């Protein structure tokens, strides 16, 4: 995938492209961590500051764990809640004050996942043949493709990059939530790279300035927080609404 002219040179200190791999980086904890630990860990990284969970937040974590959905489903709800709150937050304030602030969006994601998972199940052998319902990943992939097609129609300069994404990054439908998250993130990061140089630098400065208060976080937590801020800023800049 070639870059538009003028993208090869950049001054020191202004990133020309993000360097996140597509492997799972949503969690900062080992694979043996519990569901509750994964969710709390991700929430704190996106929030941008440490916080001891309250009794009500702990109860909410337990309720979500009992739903039996993948961690990424809940993380998506937290991300969407944080994105909506990000632009109303004053400098120095955390994006989210408590896990309960994410409850409506997280439970909406859980509901969508469960409905799609049930619809994508195998039909009984006695049932008449009909088109198989889309899975959660297939639905997200289709919505992402539609959002990017709309973007290409609104921004002619990005149409070529969108076409390339459709035949490369988006050529296949991921089969599990973490891979879907990585695919979506990579698509928007490559769209960031396709923006004009000055726009790209301004967007990076905006995203990183918003996370300047995260001084006490670990390097890995800052990486997840920075990734969230950059992706949120890219979607806002491109006018891509929640999918």
Per the domain annotation, does 58 fall within a domain?
yes
What is the mean pLDDT of the segment spanning 138-153? 96
Task: Answer yes or no: is pLDDT of 58 > 80.
Answer: yes
- Give the global pTM: 0.77
- The answer to which of 31-40, 48-57, 134-143, 155-164 has the lowest mean pLDDT is 48-57
Cβ pair 42, 26 in contact under 8 A: yes
What is the mean pLDDT of the segment spanning 185-202? 95
User: Which pLDDT value is given to residue 5?
Assistant: 40
Task: Answer yes or no: is pLDDT of 152 > 60.
Answer: yes
Per the domain annotation, does 39 fall within a domain?
yes
User: Which pLDDT value is given to residue 164?
Assistant: 97
Task: Answer yes or no: is pLDDT of 114 > 80.
Answer: yes
Length of the chain: 243
Task: Answer yes or no: is pLDDT of 210 > 80.
Answer: no
User: Which pLDDT value is given to residue 123?
Assistant: 53
What distances in angstroms separate CA 35 from CA 18, 69, 73, one per listed residue? Answer: 29, 10, 11
Task: Answer yes or no: is pLDDT of 44 > 80.
Answer: yes
Per the domain annotation, does 143 fall within a domain?
yes
> What does the mean pLDDT of the chain come to?
80
Per the domain annotation, does 3 fall within a domain?
no
Which percentage of the chain shows pLDDT scores above 90?
48
Q: Specify the higher pLDDT residue, 190 or 209.
A: 190
**Mean pLDDT comparison of 44-58, 66-80, 228-242, highest-scoring range:** 66-80
User: Which pLDDT value is given to residue 74?
Assistant: 96
Task: Answer yes or no: is pLDDT of 217 > 70.
Answer: no
User: Which pLDDT value is given to residue 197?
Assistant: 94
Per the domain annotation, does 211 fall within a domain?
yes
> What distance in Å separates the CA atoms of residue 75 and residue 98, rounded to the nearest whole number?
14
Per the domain annotation, does 14 fall within a domain?
no
C-alpha 97, offset from chain centre: 20
Nearest in space to 240 (alpha carbons), one of 188, 196, 182: 188
Task: Answer yes or no: is pLDDT of 31 > 70.
Answer: no
The residue range of the domain holding 215 is 35-120+133-238
* Residue 22 pLDDT class (50, 70, 90 cuts): very low
Cβ pair 101, 79 in contact under 8 A: no
Residues 6+ apart with CB under 8 A from 47: 82, 94, 95, 96
Per the domain annotation, does 62 fall within a domain?
yes
What is the mean pLDDT of the segment spanning 112-130? 68
Q: Specify the higher pLDDT residue, 214 or 85.
A: 85
User: Which pLDDT value is given to residue 25?
Assistant: 41
Per the domain annotation, does 99 fall within a domain?
yes
Number of domains in the chain: 1
Task: Answer yes or no: is pLDDT of 43 > 50.
Answer: yes
């Amino acid at each position: 995938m070639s870059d538009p002219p003028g993208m090869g040179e950049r001054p020191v200190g202004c990133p020309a492209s993000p360097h996140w791999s597509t492997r799972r980086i949503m969690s900062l904890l080992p694979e043996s961590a519990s569901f509750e630990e994964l969710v709390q860990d991700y929430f704190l990284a996106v929030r941008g500051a440490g916080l001891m969970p309250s009794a009500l937040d702990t109860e909410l974590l337990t309720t979500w764990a009992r739903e039996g959905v993948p961690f990424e489903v809940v993380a998506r709800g937290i991300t969407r809640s944080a994105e909506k709150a990000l632009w109303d937050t004053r400098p120095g304030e955390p994006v989210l004050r408590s896990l309960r602030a994410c409850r409506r969006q997280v439970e909406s994601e859980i509901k969508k996942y469960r409905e799609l998972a049930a619809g994508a199940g195998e039909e009984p052998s006695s049932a008449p043949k009909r088109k198989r319902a889309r899975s959660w990943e297939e639905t997200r992939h289709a919505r992402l493709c539609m959002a990017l097609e709309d973007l290409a129609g609104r921004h002619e300069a990005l149409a070529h990059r969108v076409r390339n994404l459709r035949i490369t990054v988006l050529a296949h439908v991921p089969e599990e939530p973490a891979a879907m998250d990585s695919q979506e993130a990579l698509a928007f990061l490559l769209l960031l790279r396709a923006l004009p140089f000055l726009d790209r630098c301004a967007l990076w400065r905006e995203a990183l300035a918003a996370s300047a208060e995260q001084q006490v976080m670990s390097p890995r937590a800052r990486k997840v927080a920075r990734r969230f801020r950059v992706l949120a800023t890219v979607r806002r800049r491109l006018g891509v609404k929640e999918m």
